[in-house]
């Protein structure tokens, strides 16, 4: 035997070692593939794009007892309809037995009929009032009514204390009462009617379980309470629920006093307030549904806030959120599918924080604003801002913008703030991870089970 020869025993050992290595690599690859298949991500952290084949379809629908008892009123507008309706068409709508979609332009999109919400408004009012200039252009020119510059500027328009500053938003207030009439005419026997928007996400199983605590044969008006001075009404984006008797009374009141409510609509800015005023006029007061119905998105919420009962928002079942992006809608549907697949309990707001919000919190994230508010003295670097937060036992997060340091006792995820131009400020954010973990444990310990807002 030469010195380069390998004995049969050594060859067998070498073959076994190579085989074991290959088996390990194969198992490792399969392990990573399996976990990545169930990975839940949110657009704000990872802006990935789905192919059409990956979109959920009718197969994800499961029979939900009671869903047939709700007529869903989906309110949208031309400037957002195609962008925001697509996720609903590909996820939620195939599962809904009864619904209608209304906008300020009648059209067909992706096989869905979008009806005109305003076609029964007094023609003289449409011709003469400035609120309807946008609507008049739409009816005359259709999808070519506005320039690309106009559409882009409206998309970027800021929210003000009187709502979003766009002509489409100002027109939106005219839709609420006509839609109540249209929905009631289309489906007059529905036990419940629910107003939602395209960027409202509904956890349907939670909603249906919660609604079993209410008697739909009584006149009821349920929603997330919102204040306009001393006036209280249900916020439209969180979902508004009206029982069948309540809707009948509302429609009768509106149709016999149309001029009165047209005048009210001219003088007010919020359509959901006008709906609430009409409900109050027939003697149906709002059932305050927050925290069960929520008017914002988890990334901006304070999960430690407390209900009128003194219970943390964390402890309530997640039932509705608002202002979700199209990708958020897909991701929450995916999360719900995963929960059902694993036969888990209904999700609480605390579960949403653990599963969706917390995984995106890091010691440092560039081009991100976590909505910290408490300005610290001095011209600080990121590390100095971190140390300023560390020095405060109750500081949970911080951000730095143009060397201005802000800290916060309230945990929020916030939103992406990319630097779009070279001279734009760079915003970086950070969280005290160990303190956030302690916060989650404390919140969980404060809950005595999960609950809804009940009558």
Residues 197-223 have pLDDT tens digits of 999 999 999 999 999 999 999 999 999
Model confidence at 243: pLDDT above 50: yes
Model confidence at 265: pLDDT above 80: yes
Q: What angle do CA 47, 101, 56 make, to 5 degrees?
A: 40
Question: Where is average pLDDT lowest: 93-102, 348-357, 417-426, 442-451?
Answer: 417-426
Convert the pLDDT of each residue in 391-402 to its tens digit.
999 999 999 998
Model confidence at 405: pLDDT above 80: yes
- Cα separation, 444 vs 343, whole angstroms: 21
Give yes or no for a contact between 313 and 357, defined as CB atoms under 8 angstroms apart.
Answer: no
Q: pTM value?
A: 0.85
- Cα separation, 388 vs 370, whole angstroms: 16
Give, in order, the Cα–Cα distances in Å from 447 to each of 7, 310, 356, 433: 68, 11, 20, 22
Residue with tokens 């003289």: 124
CA 79 vs. chain centroid, Å, equals 18
Say if strands 201-202 and 231-234 run parallel, antiparallel, or are unpaired.
unpaired
By CB atoms closer than 10 A (0-12, 13-18, 19+), residue 186 is: middle
Query: How many residues does this entry show for the chain?
Result: 455
Give yes or no for a contact between 347 and 206, defined as CB atoms under 8 angstroms apart.
Answer: yes
Q: How many CB atoms lie within 10 A of CB 338?
A: 14
Q: In the prediction, which pLDDT does 163 show?
A: 67
Q: Residue 447 contacts by C-beta under 8 Å, 6 or more apart in sequence?
A: 311, 312, 314, 315, 348, 350
Question: Where is average pLDDT lowest: 34-43, 207-216, 223-232, 279-288?
Answer: 34-43
Q: In the prediction, which pLDDT does 424 show?
A: 76
Q: In the prediction, which pLDDT does 2 show?
A: 37
- Cα separation, 225 vs 234, whole angstroms: 5
**Which tokens go with 248?**
């009948």
Q: How confident is the model at residue 446 (pLDDT cuts 50, 70, 90)?
A: very high
Q: Residue 371 contacts by C-beta under 8 Å, 6 or more apart in sequence?
A: 300, 399, 408, 412, 414, 415
Phi-psi region of 110 (alpha: psi -120 to 50; beta: other; left: phi over 0): left
Question: Where is average pLDDT lowest: 63-77, 147-161, 172-186, 295-309?
Answer: 147-161
Phi-psi region of 343 (alpha: psi -120 to 50; beta: other; left: phi over 0): left
Section 109-128 average pLDDT: 96
Q: How confident is the model at residue 49 (pLDDT cuts 50, 70, 90)?
A: very low
φ/ψ (deg, to 5) at 119: -75, -5
Dihedral, 60, 65, 66, 67 alpha carbons, nearest 10: 10
Q: What angle do CA 69, 73, 76 make, to 5 degrees?
A: 160
Model confidence at 423: pLDDT above 90: no
**Which tokens go with 163?**
């709502």
CA 443 vs. chain centroid, Å, equals 22
Question: Where is average pLDDT lowest: 55-64, 82-91, 281-290, 327-336?
Answer: 55-64
Give yes or no for a contact between 270 and 172, defined as CB atoms under 8 angstroms apart.
Answer: no
Give yes or no for a contact between 187 and 98, defined as CB atoms under 8 angstroms apart.
Answer: yes
Run of H or E including 433: helix 433-446
């Amino acid at each position: 035997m030469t010195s380069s020869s390998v004995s049969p025993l050594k060859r067998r050992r070498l073959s076994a070692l190579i085989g074991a290595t290959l088996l390990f690599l194969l198992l490792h690859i399969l392990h990573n593939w399996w976990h990545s298949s169930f990975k839940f991500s949110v657009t704000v952290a990872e802006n990935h794009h789905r192919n059409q084949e990956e979109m959920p379809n009718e197969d994800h629908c499961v029979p939900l007892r009671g869903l047939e008892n709700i007529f869903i009123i989906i309110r949208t507008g031309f400037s957002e309809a195609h962008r925001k309706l697509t996720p609903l068409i590909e996820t939620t709508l195939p599962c809904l037995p009864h619904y209608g979609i209304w906008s300020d332009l009648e059209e067909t999109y992706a096989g869905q009929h979008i009806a005109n919400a305003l076609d029964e408004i007094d023609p003289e009012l449409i011709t003469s009032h400035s609120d309807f200039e946008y609507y008049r252009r739409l009816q005359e020119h259709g999808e070519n009514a506005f320039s690309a510059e106009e559409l882009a500027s409206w998309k970027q328009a800021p929210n003000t204390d009187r709502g979003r500053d766009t002509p489409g938003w100002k027109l939106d207030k005219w839709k609420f009462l006509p839609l109540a009439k249209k929905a009631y005419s289309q489906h007059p026997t529905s036990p419940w009617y629910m107003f939602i928007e395209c960027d409202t996400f509904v956890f349907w199983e939670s909603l249906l379980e919660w609604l079993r605590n209410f008697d739909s044969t009584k006149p009821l008006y349920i929603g997330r309470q919102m204040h306009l001075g001393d006036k209280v009404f249900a916020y439209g984006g969180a979902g508004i629920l009206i029982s069948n008797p309540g809707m009948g009374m509302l429609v009768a009141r509106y149709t016999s006093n149309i001029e009165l409510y047209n005048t009210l609509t001219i003088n007010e800015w919020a359509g959901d307030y006008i709906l609430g005023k009409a409900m109050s006029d027939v003697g149906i007061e709002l059932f305050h549904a927050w925290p069960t119905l929520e008017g914002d998105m988890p990334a901006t919420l304070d999960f430690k806030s407390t209900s009128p009962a003194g219970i943390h928002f964390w402890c309530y079942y997640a039932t509705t959120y608002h202002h979700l992006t199209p990708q958020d809608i897909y991701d929450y549907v995916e999360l719900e599918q995963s929960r059902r697949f694993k036969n888990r309990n209904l999700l609480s707001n605390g579960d949403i924080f653990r599963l969706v919000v917390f995984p995106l919190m890091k010691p440092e994230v560039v081009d991100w604003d976590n909505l910290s508010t408490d300005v610290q003295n001095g011209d600080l670097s990121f590390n100095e801002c971190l140390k300023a937060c560390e020095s405060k036992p109750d500081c949970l997060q911080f951000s730095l913008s143009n060397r201005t340091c802000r800290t916060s006792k309230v945990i929020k995820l916030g939103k992406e703030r990319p630097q779009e131009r070279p001279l734009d400020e760079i915003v970086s954010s950070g969280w005290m991870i160990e303190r956030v973990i302690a916060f989650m444990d404390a919140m969980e310990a404060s809950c005595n089970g999960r609950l809804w807002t009940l009558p």
